[in-house]
Structure 1
Amino acid sequence: MKRWELVRSALLNDIDAGAFQDGRLPGDFVLADRFGVNRHTVRNAIKALESEGALRVQHGVGTFVADDFVSHKLNSDPRFTYKLLGQNKSVKREILSINETSVEPDIASHLNIAPSALVTEVRSTSFINDWPLATGTSYYPAARVPGLATAFEGMNSPTAALKRCGIAEYKRKWTRITARRPSSQEAQLLRISSSSPVLFETNVDVTPDGLPIKYAFSVIRSDRYEYLIETNE
């Protein structure tokens, strides 16, 4: 067996055992020193594992266990968990806080409510295979979705909570995606460095008759996430 094949086999065993903290492999120099080989041998092993779908190499960022990567198809269906059912991912959402409050004028404008109107503010963090993927805040007009805070009791699913409030159907009106650096609190929640770039997504969901029921923003780990946009031509 060639040296790169031995390295590949050892790395694959580590992947299966969940040995890489945060789903990220050490750098080439560290791995080369560990196995007593040169960097070229390590890169051959990583290239083989990448072609097999076990690893994902993001140039300039690092090498990651592919199981921690999420591909999100952008369309009018806002149900994030539903979209991941076919990707063999374990999806979990942790509710950090739920409050009734007023919001800034721009958020009120997106929700088509008066600036003084109350909203239900839901802060949460989403996890994929027990690793944090995104953290953010959603705002629901209190008058349109009464009792939402109570509806969240015993569950972490916005779709299920909205259904308890009588809203069985809704769709994504628009999504905007930019990039920036995380705040110190966001970096802590996502378990990344404050210098790591993140994706910043804002969106609005509406009822079938076009009435806004949610405005949200999410800070997403860019090393584990991609958007897939399909066009029908």
Structure 2
Amino acid sequence: LMDAPLLVQPLVLPHESQPQAHNLEVTKSLPLEFFESTLQQVKASDVSSVEIIKSRLETERQFYDYFSTHSTSSLTTSKSRSAYSTLGSMLDKFDMQIKNAELIDAVNTSEIVSNVISTHLVPDIMGNLRAYARQNFRCTGCGKSYRRMPLIQTCVCGHKLIPTITRGSVEKYLKLAKRLVEKYDVSEYQRGRIHALSDEIELVFGKSQGDQSLLTDYA
């Protein structure tokens, strides 16, 4: 479990479960039509030859006759922890995911990378950059929070004010994103989007930390 359960429900109603669970196959065998669909590269959502839980919702058979194509004597493995919990950083986890994808001929690695960039990396970088622009400043002495940096650049108590969001948190996935767009066959739009975000971060922070331009530099 990823989180501690807060409620135990003795009777599970299939239509109340997560939509991902509705895609579970409940058939004894895979028909020939299924394999023909794989040769035609039909999307999984368009395959109707395999019965799934979704097709049984709101019927009596949503509660029984759940079959499987292969039997097993145990649902547990010898490993008590998954690789997701044993690997260190998110970069290590993603690299392992890409390595697994490259071993499977049926998986388009570039498509996976493209989806990760669009759904995770770009929104994360943009969100962190937006949060940096809206951040508060905290006093190292009394802990008072300021919405904007005062002109005197110190707290009323005389102590230093520090930002609550650092440059590292803003660009923590930028290096990974730049490496992915250079290594894999992604669209020119995505490649340009990552480079544009990189340029935007450099405009905010400077090419090296503490190298941000001042208004007086353009006077």
Q: Computing the radius of gyration over CA atoms, which structure comes out larger, 1 or 2? A: 2
Structure number with higher relative contact order (C-alpha < 8 Å, ≥ 6 residues apart): 1
Structures share a fold, TM > 0.5?
no
Structure ranking higher in helix proportion: 2
Give me the TM-score of the superposition, normalised by structure 1: 0.27
Question: Which structure's residues are more often strand, by fraction?
Answer: 1
